[in-house]
Amino acid sequence: MTTAVQTTPLQDLLEQFARLHRQAHDTETKRVAIVASKGTLDMAYPALILATTAVSMGMECAVFFTFYGLNILHKRKSRSLQVAPLGNPAAPIPVPNILGAIPGMTWMATRVMHWMMRRQNMPSIQSLLETARSMGVKLIACSTTMGVMGVKESDLIDGVDIQGAASFLEFASKAHITLFI
Amino acid sequence: MTTPIAEHQTLDTSDTLCPLPVIAAKQATDKLARGQVLKVIATDPGSKADIPSWARSAGHTLLKWEVQGKKFVFWVQKG
């Protein structure tokens, strides 16, 4: 036979206090959800720098690579990410912006950026990706982008999850930090 | 004069920029036992703010930090 447990108003109050106390001293793991939507060198770095830093700080992190951002996970394309000077006044090339339309200028800006990164001992995109993967950053390839752009699973680096928007949003709905890059 | 802190390991991240000092610090503390102290040397000006933030977030204690010439030196106790 079971008997209903009666709680007194004081017990209710204490329970409520304990719950609020736990919330105030929130010790749950922080979660970071990043969308990487651009496939250029200058957009790949911020996403991977933030992701690797997040896991270093003890946070849980997932990066959803969608549209051109999927190139970052592409075995071949991730080795040749570029930065375009055309329409990018901040590009690392000291010439009038319109000259960025000349063939070879994107190549040159990309070379300059690689040089600037190496000069400061910055890791390559491949190296950052490997660090991210080994430290537990969840790398998610957008299944729609794969379909639209004809990317096969074998085109992507190892250790990538293939998911759609719903599963990423479920993860992001419990995130403390959400970034679209 | 303050008492010197005895570190168990020293990590020199000189001449690297964010995110490398924090990643290296995380990987180094992973190999330490709780209570042991990691001394981190950095030249990235951002590390002055980043190492304390990392230590707080990761549950470690920043015992002390100081500027030595162009270097920032931190003593972090693993939590």
> Please, what are the domains in chain B?
9-77 (3.30.110.40)
Residue B42 CA to residue B48 CA, distance in Å, equals: 8
Distance CA(A86)–CA(B7), nearest Å, equals 51
Has residue A92 got a pLDDT over 80?
no
- CATH 3.40.980.10 is right for the domain spanning A31-82+126-180: no
Say if the Cβ atoms of A121 and B16 lie within 8 Å. yes
Q: Mean pLDDT per segment of 10 residues, for chain B of length 79 residues?
A: 81 96 96 96 94 94 95 96
- Chain A interface includes B38 (CB < 8 A): no
Please check whether residue B30 is in contact with residue B53, taking contact to mean a CB–CB distance below 8 angstroms: no
Q: Rounded CA gap, B55 and B51, in Å? A: 6
Residues of B in contact with A49 (CB under 8 A): 18-19
Please provide the average confidence, as pLDDT, over all residues in chain A. 90
pLDDT bucket at A24, cuts 50 / 70 / 90? low
CA distances from A115 to A23, A38, A63, B45 (A): 48, 21, 27, 21
Element (DSSP H or E) covering residue A89: none
Q: Do B23 and A57 touch (CB under 8 A)?
A: no
Give the domain ranges of chain A: 31-82+126-180
At residue A1, does pLDDT exceed 60?
Answer: no
Q: Which residue has the tokens 């949003």?
A: A169
Residues of A in contact with B16 (CB under 8 A): 120-122
Please tell me whether the interface predicted TM-score (ipTM) of this complex is above 0.90: no
Q: How far apart are CA A138 and CA A152, in angstroms?
A: 19
- In this predicted structure, what is the pLDDT of residue A3? 57
**pTM strictly above 0.95:** no
